[in-house]
Structure 1
Protein backbone atom coordinates (compact mmCIF):
# COMPACT_ATOMS: atom_id res chain seq x y z
CA UNK A 1 0.00 0.00 0.00
CA UNK A 2 1.50 3.33 -1.04
CA UNK A 3 1.81 6.08 1.50
CA UNK A 4 1.74 9.77 0.82
CA UNK A 5 3.20 12.70 2.66
CA UNK A 6 6.12 12.67 5.00
CA UNK A 7 4.72 12.14 8.47
CA UNK A 8 6.45 9.67 10.76
CA UNK A 9 3.68 7.08 10.36
CA UNK A 10 4.31 6.96 6.61
CA UNK A 11 7.99 6.05 6.95
CA UNK A 12 8.79 2.33 6.79
CA UNK A 13 11.13 1.03 9.46
CA UNK A 14 14.65 -0.09 8.61
CA UNK A 15 13.86 -3.81 8.88
CA UNK A 16 10.92 -3.51 6.48
CA UNK A 17 13.00 -1.48 4.02
CA UNK A 18 15.86 -4.02 4.13
CA UNK A 19 13.50 -6.92 3.47
CA UNK A 20 11.67 -5.08 0.69
CA UNK A 21 14.96 -4.03 -0.95
CA UNK A 22 16.13 -7.65 -0.97
CA UNK A 23 12.93 -8.64 -2.83
CA UNK A 24 12.87 -5.65 -5.19
CA UNK A 25 13.56 -5.75 -8.92
CA UNK A 26 16.68 -4.14 -10.33
CA UNK A 27 14.67 -1.16 -11.59
CA UNK A 28 13.11 -0.56 -8.17
CA UNK A 29 16.52 -0.84 -6.53
CA UNK A 30 18.03 1.74 -8.90
CA UNK A 31 15.15 4.12 -8.24
CA UNK A 32 15.49 3.55 -4.49
CA UNK A 33 19.25 4.16 -4.68
CA UNK A 34 18.72 7.43 -6.58
CA UNK A 35 16.21 8.73 -4.03
CA UNK A 36 18.44 7.60 -1.15
CA UNK A 37 21.39 9.45 -2.69
CA UNK A 38 19.24 12.59 -3.08
CA UNK A 39 18.17 12.37 0.57
CA UNK A 40 21.77 11.90 1.74
CA UNK A 41 22.93 14.86 -0.33
CA UNK A 42 20.12 17.06 1.04
CA UNK A 43 20.91 16.00 4.61
CA UNK A 44 24.61 16.69 4.20
CA UNK A 45 24.18 20.04 2.47
CA UNK A 46 21.44 21.11 4.85
CA UNK A 47 23.45 20.20 7.93
CA UNK A 48 26.47 22.13 6.66
CA UNK A 49 24.37 25.23 6.02
CA UNK A 50 22.51 25.04 9.32
CA UNK A 51 25.54 24.50 11.57
CA UNK A 52 26.19 27.61 13.59
CA UNK A 53 23.11 29.49 12.39
CA UNK A 54 21.30 29.44 15.75
CA UNK A 55 17.69 30.62 15.94
CA UNK A 56 17.71 31.97 12.38
CA UNK A 57 17.99 28.43 11.06
CA UNK A 58 14.73 27.10 12.53
CA UNK A 59 12.61 27.70 9.41
CA UNK A 60 15.27 26.22 7.15
CA UNK A 61 15.69 23.27 9.51
CA UNK A 62 11.94 22.63 9.43
CA UNK A 63 11.96 22.67 5.61
CA UNK A 64 14.94 20.31 5.51
CA UNK A 65 13.30 17.94 7.99
CA UNK A 66 10.08 17.93 5.94
CA UNK A 67 12.05 17.22 2.74
CA UNK A 68 13.91 14.34 4.38
CA UNK A 69 10.70 12.85 5.80
CA UNK A 70 9.16 12.99 2.32
CA UNK A 71 12.23 11.31 0.80
CA UNK A 72 12.13 8.57 3.45
CA UNK A 73 8.42 7.98 2.82
CA UNK A 74 9.12 7.80 -0.92
CA UNK A 75 11.80 5.18 -0.31
CA UNK A 76 9.19 2.99 1.39
CA UNK A 77 6.73 3.65 -1.43
CA UNK A 78 9.26 2.61 -4.08
CA UNK A 79 9.71 -0.77 -2.41
CA UNK A 80 6.10 -0.95 -1.19
CA UNK A 81 7.48 -1.51 2.32
Structure 2
Protein backbone atom coordinates (compact mmCIF):
# COMPACT_ATOMS: atom_id res chain seq x y z
CA UNK A 1 0.00 0.00 0.00
CA UNK A 2 1.36 3.42 -0.93
CA UNK A 3 0.68 6.46 1.23
CA UNK A 4 0.84 10.05 -0.02
CA UNK A 5 1.21 12.60 2.76
CA UNK A 6 1.92 16.30 3.08
CA UNK A 7 5.09 17.43 4.87
CA UNK A 8 3.28 17.95 8.21
CA UNK A 9 1.82 14.48 7.93
CA UNK A 10 5.21 13.04 7.07
CA UNK A 11 6.71 14.69 10.16
CA UNK A 12 4.09 12.94 12.24
CA UNK A 13 4.82 9.61 10.54
CA UNK A 14 8.57 10.06 11.18
CA UNK A 15 7.87 11.02 14.81
CA UNK A 16 5.62 7.97 15.28
CA UNK A 17 8.19 5.62 13.73
CA UNK A 18 10.92 7.15 15.90
CA UNK A 19 8.74 6.67 18.97
CA UNK A 20 8.23 3.00 18.06
CA UNK A 21 11.96 2.38 17.64
CA UNK A 22 13.76 0.94 20.61
CA UNK A 23 16.32 3.53 21.68
CA UNK A 24 18.24 5.52 19.10
CA UNK A 25 18.20 4.98 15.34
CA UNK A 26 19.98 6.55 12.40
CA UNK A 27 18.04 8.35 9.68
CA UNK A 28 18.83 5.81 6.97
CA UNK A 29 17.52 2.90 9.05
CA UNK A 30 14.41 4.91 9.88
CA UNK A 31 13.88 5.68 6.18
CA UNK A 32 14.26 2.00 5.24
CA UNK A 33 11.74 1.04 7.92
CA UNK A 34 9.22 3.58 6.62
CA UNK A 35 9.71 2.43 3.02
CA UNK A 36 9.27 -1.22 4.01
CA UNK A 37 5.93 -0.21 5.53
CA UNK A 38 4.81 1.34 2.22
CA UNK A 39 5.39 4.98 3.17
CA UNK A 40 6.58 7.00 0.17
CA UNK A 41 9.12 9.38 1.65
CA UNK A 42 12.57 10.56 0.61
CA UNK A 43 15.66 10.30 2.82
CA UNK A 44 15.89 14.11 2.71
CA UNK A 45 12.36 14.42 4.12
CA UNK A 46 13.20 11.95 6.89
CA UNK A 47 16.30 13.95 7.87
CA UNK A 48 14.42 17.27 7.60
CA UNK A 49 11.72 15.84 9.87
CA UNK A 50 14.27 14.50 12.35
CA UNK A 51 16.03 17.89 12.48
CA UNK A 52 12.66 19.61 12.97
CA UNK A 53 11.84 17.24 15.86
CA UNK A 54 15.23 17.97 17.47
CA UNK A 55 14.85 21.74 17.05
CA UNK A 56 11.29 21.60 18.43
CA UNK A 57 12.55 19.78 21.53
CA UNK A 58 10.75 16.47 21.00
CA UNK A 59 13.77 14.42 19.95
CA UNK A 60 17.49 14.41 20.61
CA UNK A 61 20.51 13.72 18.46
CA UNK A 62 23.59 11.91 19.71
CA UNK A 63 26.81 11.12 17.91
CA UNK A 64 27.74 7.45 17.90
CA UNK A 65 31.30 6.18 18.28
CA UNK A 66 31.36 5.71 14.50
CA UNK A 67 30.48 9.42 14.08
CA UNK A 68 26.94 8.66 12.92
CA UNK A 69 24.01 10.81 14.03
CA UNK A 70 21.45 8.81 15.98
CA UNK A 71 18.00 10.12 16.87
CA UNK A 72 15.58 9.27 19.65
CA UNK A 73 12.46 10.68 21.28
CA UNK A 74 13.19 12.42 24.59
CA UNK A 75 12.16 10.33 27.59
CA UNK A 76 9.46 12.73 28.75
CA UNK A 77 7.56 12.20 25.48
CA UNK A 78 7.72 8.41 25.50
CA UNK A 79 4.58 6.47 26.36
CA UNK A 80 4.63 4.68 29.67
CA UNK A 81 4.53 0.93 29.16
- Which has the greater radius of gyration? 1
Richer in helix (by share): 1
Question: So what's the TM-score if we normalise by structure 2?
Answer: 0.28
Question: So what's the TM-score if we normalise by structure 1?
Answer: 0.28
- Higher relative contact order, structure no. (Cα contacts within 8 Å, ≥ 6 residues apart): 1
